[in-house]
Amino acid sequence: MAVVLLSTLNSCKKLIEVNAPTTQLVGSEVYTDSGTIQTTLGGLYGKLAFSYSTANPYRYGITTLSGFSADELQYVGSTFDPFINNSIPVADPYAADTWANTYGVIYDANSIIEGVTGGSGISDNFRNQAIAEARFVRAFCYFYLTNLYGDVPLILGTDVAKNSIAARTASSAVYKQMIADLQFAQNNLPSDYSISSGQRTRANKWIATALLARIYLYTSDWVDAEAQATAVISNTALYGILTDLTKVFTPANNEAIWQFYNDNNGYTWFAYSVLPNPISMIPTYVLTPQLVNAFETGDTRKTNWTASLTYNGTTYYYPYKYKSLVFGGNAEYYTPLRLAEQYLIRAEARARQSNISGAQSDVSVIRNRAGLVNTTAGDQASLLLAIEQERRIELNVEWGHRWLDLKRTGRADAVIGAEKTGWKPTAVLFPIPSAEIGNNANLTQNLGY
């Protein structure tokens, strides 16, 4: 199946053949009033957050698959052995579904951009806001596609014939598009959370800025990474580091930058997927010994964000950032962007620019919140390793940070290679799904597959 012909609602059918869901409106002729556009944008966020598929990529799959691929998670069973062993088959359904779901969301974002651009009966300000939201979501999707698969087709329209034969685009060009999308979003989105009634669930200027800071870090633009992170950190009217670790993932808290609404169950799908249940007792998603042992003595993140149980003499540690399974409770929202990451982005950007004291200060903010003393790293090399360690702990089992960090810094071979038998350097990328290559002669496979 070609890249954009895949619907996240049914990866076995071409999107052009699938009736649009009730929240998806396709074609510029429908974009004639703000209510219609709001409904369509809601459908875009809904597809991103609630897609029901093999691994539910943006509900929990990206976090868990990346956690297996790195050194964060193990699985009680054999289901995810290909990721844990870094030997993913080219037809693996989880890797294929992540690709398909992501391009399905991108297709919908492109449809909104085209439809709103050509629509009538709406103000220019609202038109630009809608386009900006769609471009933000598109940039977010391309960030994960690029980091998981490497060079990927850059799809910016809804021309099925053109998209179905699209070749891979250099990652550098995809990053340039992400930056352009996010800069447009910065300039055309509100600077508060008014469009989501105070919830932090729809893109605004600061959400775009936070993602832009991350992308500048990933592209080694240290100056701009520091500047964008500083802009978010300095907005103390909206953001601040919480002292209570149990509140970090609660709805609309001051550390949250961007969150997903829950579905009708009222709890995060991540908690539902990874927490042990009263029937089986044994958690299936288990923290690796390497991660458990990486916490320093006295680190309150271990006591607040991990849990353990002993069953038949074996102690299992498991993720516990998301704790609630209360039906209808909405005690927590899945959080793709939060302020602690911005401090660590700025710390690394400053360290790369030899601003040692500035980097130390930022790392220590995060350490102090966890009950630890200021970092003792005093030179660039040791400070960069200290930041890597702090990101490992603070962002553990969270949106693939550990896996992507080891890849982008060139540390995967040294770290994962030392921990896993059979590791090979080409395993830093997932395979391009074989079904996609079979239906598009212009797609090529990643090395090692």
- How far does Cα 294 stand from its chain's mean position? 23
Average pLDDT over residues 4-19: 29
Average pLDDT over residues 68-87: 97
pLDDT-derived band at 53, boundaries 50, 70, 90: low
pLDDT tops 70 at residue 19 = no
What pLDDT is stored for residue 24 in this prediction?
39
Tens digits of residue pLDDT in 435-447: 999 999 999 999 9
Phi (first) and psi of residue 79, to 5 degrees: -55, -40
pLDDT tops 80 at residue 433 = yes
What pLDDT is stored for residue 16 in this prediction?
23
Tens digits of residue pLDDT in 263-295: 899 999 999 999 998 777 789 999 999 999 999
**146: which residues sit within 8 A by CB, 6+ positions away?**
152, 171, 174, 175, 178
pLDDT tops 90 at residue 170 = yes
pLDDT tops 90 at residue 20 = no
pLDDT tops 90 at residue 7 = no
**Is the dihedral angle over the CA atoms 342, 59, 302, 81 positive or is it negative?**
negative
Averaged pLDDT score across all residues of the chain: 92
pLDDT tops 50 at residue 362 = yes
- Cα–Cα distance between 405 and 69 in angstroms, integer? 12
Average pLDDT over residues 352-375: 98
- Cα–Cα distance between 304 and 63 in angstroms, integer? 19
pLDDT > 70 fraction of the chain, expressed in percent and rounded: 92
Average pLDDT over residues 138-158: 98
What pLDDT is stored for residue 58 in this prediction?
94
CATH of 20-263+334-439, one of 3.20.20.10, 3.40.50.10680, 1.25.40.390, 3.30.310.80: 1.25.40.390
pLDDT-derived band at 2, boundaries 50, 70, 90: very low
Tens digits of residue pLDDT in 391-412: 999 999 999 999 999 999 999 9
What pLDDT is stored for residue 23 in this prediction?
37
pLDDT tops 80 at residue 189 = yes
